[in-house]
Amino acid sequence: MKKKDFLEKYRINERDYDKCKFVWKELLAIKEDYDELKSEYEAAMKNIVEVVSGFNKVHSVRFRVKDSEHLIEKIIRKRIVDKNRVINRGNYRDEIKDLIGVRLLHLYKHDFHEINEQIKGSYDFVEKPTVNIRKGDNNEFWNNHLDNPQIHEHASGYRSVHYVIRTTPTKKTFFAEIQLRTIFEEGWSEVDHDLRYPNNMDNEILQEYLMMFNRIAGSADEMGSFIRLLTNNLQKRELELANKEGKISELTNELNEMIDKLKISKGEKDKLEEKIADLRMNSETKAFDPIVSSNGQRYNSTVLGGVMGASNSLNDVIGGASRLISAYGEFRCGNCGYSGKEIGNLMITGNKSRCPRCYPVSSF
């Protein structure tokens, strides 16, 4: 590998390289040493991949052992940034900590919490996690969920959380970098890398459009997470409504049994049952009246607005039935034998009814 060809291939300015005062043969010695050790790095990487692939909420895993040419490029660029940085054959394995790279992708932003806990529980961190954010992102979220993270505002809008870990699958210790990001962040990063490198790195028009694409990807990320949370909320409330419907059915049956015991004519009983049926129908309409979206998806208006409609409907059935029974006849307590028309606070317990004296009621 010739120096001139290498510098051209990786777009490294020869003057910048000369200022680093590297001896090319020393860099070649690092490359040769690393090539001999690569099989050990690959084995250590497979061990990490096996562990993280079993993490809950991880959608997919990408991994690589750094190519030896990219290692040399990184060493040169680090020296360009910091001319006092010493990296040689004896210490490069400690200085370059991403020779093993493992990337965990997840679907929704809030999946981060669970995956982060699993990483913390599986590996020792060599340094504090680094959070790469876009200008305008909220730092508070990361400060609340990570222990003193290093937050870096990336000029290109790159988003990802990086962990440098230590692993000892054999007697040797290896460092590795685990990256954590959403699928949308990964998609944008891949397109950005493909277009920005190695050509047009400094093209202002290209950078402007890539940042626009970055904002769109970020919005899609937020929308995906919101829809997931909304779906969970809808499912929860649908279950609550089903439970309310069960209670309404149970109360209706109880009220019908009570009607049978009233000392009134058959015609009056039929009229009473009709009105209870009307109450039930109205309560079902309130609680389960559907909304149909533009794509044909049906939603409950009560689900979207809360379960108050179902609660009110339940109260309608109870209160309405109490008024009807009070108007049409006496009721006898199944426990103490008390009879009367003051049954506004009537409480149904199991298959028996209780008067206010036997079962004081606060509210449903």
In a 13 Å sphere around the CA of 233, the CA atoms on its Cβ side amount to: 14
| One-character DSSP codes across 244-310 | HHHHHHHHHHHHHHHHHHSSS-HHHHHHHHHHHHHHHHHHHHHHH-EEE-TTS-EEEHHHHH-SHHH
CA–CA gap between residue 70 and residue 17 (Å, rounded): 15
What domains are there in the chain, each with its CATH number? 3-202 (3.30.460.10), 240-354 (no CATH)
Helix 266-288 to helix 308-328 angle (10° resolution) is 170
Q: Which residues contact 265 (CB under 8 A, 6 or more apart)?
A: none
**Can you tell me the distance from the alpha carbon of 122 to that of 180, in angstroms, rounded to the nearest whole number?**
15
Amino acid at position 332, single letter: R
Residue 263 confidence (pLDDT) = 65
Backbone torsions φ then ψ of 324, nearest 5 degrees: -65, -50
pLDDT for position 161:
92
Q: Which residue numbers in the chain have pLDDT < 50?
A: 287-311, 313-314, 317-318, 324-331, 341-352, 359-364
Can you tell me whether residue 178 is helix, strand or coil?
Answer: strand
Q: Which of 290, 289, 343, 282 minimizes the C-alpha distance to 313?
A: 282
Cα separation, 20 vs 16, in Å, equals: 7
Look at residue 187 in the predicted model and tell me its pLDDT.
Answer: 84
Helix or strand run (H / E) with residue 162: strand 160-167
CB 314 within 8 A of CB 364: yes
For residue 337, which phi and psi values (nearest 5 degrees)?
Answer: 85, 0
pLDDT in tens, 110-127: 899 999 999 999 999 999
Phi, psi for 60 (deg, rounded to 5) = -160, 165
**Looking only at Cα atoms, what is the longest distance across the chain?**
110
CA dihedral (225, 226, 227, 228) positive or negative = positive
Q: What are phi and psi of 162, to 5 degrees?
A: -115, 130
**SS3 for 72?**
helix
Beta bridge partners of 174: 167
**CA–CA dist 324, 297 (Å, integer):** 39
The pLDDT, as a whole number, for residue 143 is 79
- Residue whose entry in the numeric block shows the structure tokens 């990256």: 179
